[in-house]
Amino acid sequence: MGALSAADFFKESTGSRPDRKMIILNKYKNEEAFEMSSGSPVVFKFEKSVYDKISALIPGDNKGYNSIVLKDKNNKSYNLNKISKSKELGGGGGSGAGAENTKMNESSVCLWCAVYKEYGVADKNAVIKYYKDVKDLYVVDESDKNMISQTDESWLKHYERCAEFLVNGLFKRGDYIFHRGSDLVDMINKKFSELNKKMETPFANINKWSPADIWVIKKGFKLDISECQTLDCLNRDLLNALKDRNLIGISLKKTMNTIHQTNYNIGEKREPMVWNGFRVKAEKKDSNILSSKDVYLYGKGEDEIEMQLRSFADLSGWQGELIGSVAKYGKIAYGPINLILKDLGLEELPNQQSVIALARSKDEKMIKELYKTFSKYAEPGMSEASFMSTAQSKETSADKLYSKFLGVKLIDILKSTTDKKRDSFIQGALGYALSNTKNSAPFIKVT
């Protein structure tokens, strides 16, 4: 499989061509395996400084693209331009980690925990030796054969690390069963779906209510949520179960050498997040209004976060992705962003489908508004006439106009209000991305 060249990387996304830059950023952020132009797939260690360099690349900066270096967990260096032009990046090869790998990884944590709970060891050899003896301690939707046949050392170490941490900590006393994709999980998910429909402002997806990947239940405990008629009732029952260590939902992220636990929606106190500025223009010195389709908001609290606002597909998927210096926090979509604006009594973003239609038609009024609003916050780098001509030409995609328009509009809304409401917006967006809202379920995150 050939390598992904700078020319390939910078090609505009279309209906048939994926947004390669965003796919690479997402895979890198989530520490998913990359197919390489030669050799085995590689999982790179996430570094915020490297992520920012990739994010800042603009078309034509071939030298910048070719100079970016990624490191694996053993600090071995690889050039970004050596990753493969795989199927998911618009080439002809196989895809990387997906839903099947997620099922494998999460189910394996359950199996490894079951073996460690019973025998105090959880290396692969121990799991192969004892998995048949602990069948009553885990219920998952992956086959034993697939789980014990894995060879990726980084994932095997992750399973072992998680098993030792969870069993020696939360589940040291008492007998537990580890669940993934089981009837118990289905019952919880179905109840959420039923009650979410009754909400005045429902969650866009279940992960923003609870991102739990596995559920761990004490033997003999029966979760009875059949009578719950509100999400608040369900959350309260889950919180009581968690505090008594009868049932705990756990969100898993791949661990790298160290491991720690963070509690969410359990009554914990955190330093509030405050507004810390914005950026509507690419950082390169000679950039202009059309150099990128993204806009950035910044927040500061217990961590410094960057919220990248852009479309994540061709003419769809506009949302914000929040990344901090010490953690990766998740995404918040157009709908929840508008709900936060509404709750704060602020102007909401215009209808997304209307913006898409205007961008497709290269509407003159919309393009003029984008130029005028952008100019309030940064030097456009070109005259209005030049911008109008370029924006309406074939070389400027409708997706870029749609993405940039919504991002700049959000900045304008927030800059037109008080510091307090700007802080509240940043706090609300972070809370949603973290599944840490007033209506979210209690869970524990292991990273």
Q: Where are the domains of the chain?
A: 6-89, 99-259, 274-433
- Provide the pLDDT for residue 257: 81
Query: Running along the chain, 447 residues long, what does each successive block of 10 average in pLDDT?
Result: 81 62 88 87 91 82 90 92 84 50 94 98 97 98 96 92 98 97 96 92 89 97 96 96 98 88 89 93 85 94 92 89 83 92 96 95 96 95 94 93 97 97 95 91 95
Residue 223 to residue 248: CA distance in whole angstroms: 11
CB 308 within 8 A of CB 55: yes
Give the rounded distance of the alpha carbon of 177 from its chain centre: 28
- Provide the pLDDT for residue 12: 64
Give CA torsion, residues 383, 352, 365, 418, to 10 deg.
-70
User: Which token pair is 413?
Assistant: 């809304």
Q: CB-based contacts of 50: which residues, under 8 Å, 6+ apart?
A: 28, 68, 69, 70
Give CA torsion, residues 210, 215, 216, 219, to 10 deg.
110
Closest to 27 in 3D by CA, of 103, 105, 96: 96
Q: CB-based contacts of 391: which residues, under 8 Å, 6+ apart?
A: 290, 362, 367, 370, 401
